[in-house]
A and B are shown apart, each in its own frame.
Chain A
């Protein structure tokens, strides 16, 4: 049952108490993301009955599923967005949120991420980018920085990381923002915006995994990782004036896009109306 400490935490009302304490390591950025998400829901006064949270497999997938008290669908590795697509079609009036890791959503699930953005389906994706596969023990991810050490790049990573936010902005999403766990207030604001945008929204959160990433890259304390984020973050407005060489190893933060485009499920429903009208199937 719920240890005493949780009763002091105002957001506890949003958590599935029988699932606590969380399985996340002490100092993991996942806690910050859960906190930011709960605060965003609280500030928007959203009823958790109007939420469905979907996640894949990985430490980050656990952040809201099972811990968030809503309908939660904990799916197979990489497929959360595809599951969420079916949920959204069935429940167009609910907020459908996907929270999962960079390995889950951008590696094995990269295709679903890209195509959900292209369709512009009204789901909110909170992608926790910790540069590593935490749950499976610290292997290289498609986001691992060039030159970093992981258990499967013991000498150094020779691959270039995927710039997720930039890619998904280009793919057609309605809203894309990136922050780090050191930018909590901005993160909450972006989650709130993402939840209100009608269309596909992505909030990428650069998050610390001191246990699997930090430890192997000379930052074994969570605070060291947060300082690293702060020191290397560049606001997007400033980044636009910088050269690729200057941006190497930096984290571009801020809002990438915020625009209106026809949304998938409403277009689908519009189409059904038109077809029924055309064939004279509407009840008169």
Chain B
């Protein structure tokens, strides 16, 4: 397993198995290979379209690397097993789609509360409920943010292509490890099943991060403390004789339950929030195209950012001053940058494969004098360059 000390062996295996170069592969495969490069050696899941190829690739590849594939009895069990495995030191992942993501919400909250690193891939498909099972969508933007109960922060990453997915899943693992927190990877059925060129790098080009471990007994005794002031407690792994107690109930710094003292709850939940707020530099990421002189801004995410870029390029050819802003970490939303850009443009278009979700985040950061308009399409078919371009022309 990729735990400190195993690197030389793992690098040897990765190098032997996956030659650097260009491959023609599905987005789902790119996610799986990225996870393997990130050090994921434990996968527990339950099959669901359009995510199943991630499970299939992991089931085929993990044993070669000495890793574990478990097909659990359902999604609830899958994320539960991941949490258990993460406390033994594994980097862990699962992949699912909307209905499975809904089932995982309870234990996603558990992972937030117990500060358990894990990566949860949600290959978004058309809903509500079983909806159009095989069709892509972007309808889980807020399920990622607010799906589980309570007052919790969350980090969610969303890539725009197969190649991007390879690198972004590695980034998702690094964020999870660095901040000791679950990270949601918002993929979608369209990219998941698109075959395109993905360049596999040499192992040396991949930077990976490990969770902080306790440096001494004192730190190990406070699995939920904040000895380094960054809000991220070192994680005393099971099996090292620390006698760690982990509970999803409100707990003190030593892990013991205290659900009666308001200050204990306040201190814990505020630290969980502070940990995410204070470490913005660890996860904040966005892409910008032609934003310098833009008068109209397109804000888009995930799969839709691609036709959005096509539309921006075409509009530029027509002399329309359009810029494109693509949040890559969608939660917490890059609000500061959004605010700055919002001040400089007179219209903002937000294309997405839903009836208007990320647009609500954009709205929070722009003034009323900006024309804000969604470009929305549902039914499982992605937006086209033409459809977005038409809207750009409409506000030009």
The answer to whether A and B belong to the same complex is yes
Q: Give the chain A neighbours of B67 by CB distance below 8 A.
A: 272
A52 in contact with B239 given A76-B106, A83-B81 (CB within 8 Å): yes
Mask of B35-64 contacts with A, CB within 8 angstroms, 1/0: 000000010100000000000000000011
Contact with A along B234-266 (1 / 0, CB 8 A): 000011011111111100001111000000000
Interchain CB contact (< 8 A) of A84 among B9, B72, B84: B84
A93 nearest CB neighbor, chain B only: B239
Of the candidate stretches A172-180, A207-215, A226-234, A276-284, the one touching chain B is A276-284
Pick from A76, A88, A275: contact of B80, CB under 8 Å: A76
Partner of A85 from the list B70, B90, B92 (CB cut-off 8 Å) is: B70
Min CB gap B25→A, angstroms: 19
Bitwise interface map of A from 46 to 77 toward B, beta carbon under 8 Å scored 1, else 0? 00110010100000000001100111111110
Determine whether A192 belongs to the interface, using a CB cutoff of 8 Å to chain B: no
B186 CB-CB contact with A under 8 Å: no
Report if A79-B107 is in contact (Cβ < 8 Å); known contacts: A74-B257, A112-B77: yes
What is the minimal beta-carbon distance from B319 to any residue of chain A, in angstroms? 57
Residues of B within 8 A of A72 (CB): 243-246
Q: Is A271 an interface residue (CB 8 A)?
A: yes
Q: Give A89-123 as 1s and 0s: 1 = Cβ < 8 Å from B's Cβ atoms.
A: 11100100000000000000001101100000000
Q: Indicate if the CB atoms of B107 and A76 lie closer than 8 Å.
A: yes
Residues of chain A within 8 A of B353, CB atoms compared: none
Given known A-B contacts A112-B77, A272-B66, A16 and B243 have beta carbons under 8 A apart: yes
CB closest chain-B residue, reference A50 = B239
Decide if B73 is an interface residue (CB 8 Å cutoff).
yes
CA distance A268 to B242 in the complex (A): 28
Verify if A82 is at the interface (C-beta below 8 Å from B).
yes
For residue A244, CB closer than 8 A to chain B, the reply is: no
Q: Which residues of B contact A24 (CB under 8 A)?
A: none
Q: With an 8 A cutoff between CB atoms, is B86 at the interface? A: yes
Mark out the residues of chain B between 79 and 128 whose CB falls within 8 Å of any chain A CB in the assembled complex.
80-90, 92, 106-107, 110
Q: Is B248 a contact of A49 with CB atoms below 8 Å?
A: no
Residues of A within 8 A of B239 (CB): 52, 71, 90-91, 94
Contact A65 B245 (CB under 8 A): yes
Q: Mark B1-29, 1 if CB is under 8 A from A, else 0.
A: 00000000100110011000000000000
Partner of A75 from B13, B80, B86 at Cβ < 8 Å: B80
For the complex, count residues of A whose C-beta is within 8 A of B.
41
| Distance in Å: Cβ of B97 to nearest Cβ of chain A | 20
Is A281's CB under 8 angstroms from B81's CB?
no
Given A90-B42, A90-B88, A271-B63, does the pair A83, B83 have CB atoms closer than 8 Å?
A: yes
Measured CB to CB, the nearest residue on chain B to A62 is B257
Complex: A114 Cα to B72 Cα, angstroms = 12
The CA of A69 and the CA of B13, in the complex, are separated in Å by 39
A19 at the interface (CB under 8 A from B): yes
Is B248 in contact with A74, judged by CB distance below 8 angstroms?
yes
Q: How many residues from B make CB contacts under 8 Å with A?
A: 49
- Complex CA distance for A79 and B42, rounded to whole angstroms: 19
A162 at the binding interface (Cβ < 8 Å): no
Residues of B within 8 A of A87 (CB): 84-85, 87-88, 238
B388 within 8 A of A: no
Given A71-B243, A76-B107, A276 and B63 touching (CB < 8 A)?
yes
B33: Cβ under 8 A from any A Cβ: no
Q: Which residues of B contact A18 (CB under 8 A)?
A: 254, 256
Query: Does A86 reach chain B (CB closer than 8 Å)?
Result: yes
Across the interface, A82 reaches (CB within 8 A) one of B17, B77, B256, namely: B77
Q: Is the CB of B85 within 8 A of A73?
A: no
Q: In the assembled complex, which residues on chain A have CB atoms less than 8 Å from the CB atom of B81?
A: 82-83, 85-86, 89
Q: 8 Å CB contacts to B: which residues of A223-275?
A: 268, 271-272, 275
Binary B-proximity of A2-30 (CB < 8 A = 1, otherwise 0): 00000000000000101100000000000
B73 x A49 contact (CB < 8 A): no
CB distance from B38 to the nearest CB of A (A): 18
Query: Are A85's CB and B84's CB within 8 A?
Result: yes
> In the bound complex, do residue A69 and residue B243 qualify as a contact, i.e. CB atoms below 8 Å apart?
yes
* Complex contacts, B301 vs chain A, CB 8 Å: none
Could you tell me the distance between the alpha carbons of A116 and B245 in the complex, rounded to whole angstroms? 24
| CA of A65 to CA of B257, assembled, Å | 10
Q: How far is the CA of A49 from the CA of B241 in the complex (A)?
A: 5
Q: What residues on B are CB-neighbors of A75 within 8 Å?
A: 80, 83, 110, 248
Across the interface, which residues of A come within 8 angstroms of B272, CB to CB? none
Give the one of B12, B63, B68 with max A CB within 10 A.
B63
**A52 x B73 contact (CB < 8 A):** no
Q: Is B230 an interface residue (CB 8 A)?
A: no
Check A82–B76 contact: CB distance below 8 A: yes
Q: Mark B348-363, 1 if CB is under 8 A from A, else 0.
A: 0000000000000000
- Verify A52–B83 contact, CB threshold 8 A: no
Interface membership of B386, Cβ < 8 A:
no
In the complex, A222 Cα to B241 Cα: how many Å? Answer: 37
B245 and A74: CB pair below 8 A? yes
Inter-chain contact A79/B245, CB cutoff 8 Å: no
A interface residues, Cβ below 8 angstroms from B: 16, 18-19, 48-49, 52, 54, 65-66, 69-76, 79, 82-91, 94, 111-112, 114-115, 268, 271-272, 275-276, 279, 281, 283
Known: A85-B44, A94-B238. 12 other contacts (CB 8 A): A16-B243, A49-B241, A66-B255, A72-B243, A73-B238, A82-B73, A82-B84, A86-B83, A87-B85, A89-B88, A91-B239, A281-B13
Binding site for A on B (CB under 8 A): 9, 12-13, 16-17, 42, 44, 63-64, 66-68, 70, 72-74, 76-78, 80-90, 92, 106-107, 110, 238-239, 241-249, 254-257
Q: What are the 3 tightest A-B residue pairs by CB atom distance, in nearest-first order?
A: A90-B88, A86-B84, A86-B85
User: Can you list 18 pairs linking A and B with CB atoms under 8 Å apart?
Assistant: A49-B243, A54-B84, A74-B257, A75-B80, A75-B248, A82-B81, A86-B70, A87-B88, A89-B68, A89-B70, A90-B42, A91-B88, A91-B238, A112-B77, A114-B73, A276-B64, A279-B17, A279-B64
